[in-house]
Amino acid sequence: MSDTIFSKIINREIPADIIYEDDISLAFKDINPQAPIHFLVIPKKPIATINAITEEDRLVVGHLSYVAAKLADEMGFAEEGYRTVMNCNEFGGQTVYHIHLHVLGGKLMGWPPYTDKPKPLE
């Protein structure tokens, strides 16, 4: 798989505002925040999309939610609530092809999370 900007962040080749790291994952602030709190939790293993998750990746992917909840608790916004999102491919709005869990908080989230746009014609 080709290197993404997130591999470069893991390898410290480009800077990021890293807030958490362990053997499996890394969390850092989103460069273009969509909420007062917005950070990403990523696996160190480069998995391109949700579609590429294998059976052996299950614990790694579950770990991302564990880290999101742990950080929400430590940062003090777990009780008021927050949203986690993982976008997949074009229609999901994915732009970086290394899976990442968005953690958004600090404001009341709207639902549904999309603006109504028709599916493009074939």
CA 54, CA 102: separation in Å to the nearest integer? Answer: 21
| Amino acid occupying residue 103 | V
Residue 49 engages ligand AMP in binding (rule: CB under 6 A): no
* Per-position x/- string for 16-35, each x denoting binding to ligand AMP as judged by CB under 6 A, each - no binding: x-----------x-xxx---
Residue 52 engages ligand AMP in binding (rule: CB under 6 A): no
Task: Give how far Cα 27 sits from Cα of 44, 64, 79, 101, 111, Å.
Answer: 10, 9, 20, 9, 25
Q: Which of residues 5 and 75 has its CB atom nearest to ligand AMP in the complex?
A: 5
Residue 5 engages ligand AMP in binding (rule: CB under 6 A): yes
Task: Give how far Cα 42 sits from Cα of 67, 97, 114, Å.
Answer: 10, 11, 23
Q: Which of residues 39 and 72 has its CB atom nearest to ligand AMP in the complex?
A: 39
Residue ranges in 84-113 that form contacts with ligand AMP under rule CB under 6 A: 87, 93-96
DSSP state of 85: E
Active site residues: 100
| Positions that interact with ligand AMP (CB under 6 A) | 5, 16, 28, 30-32, 87, 93-96
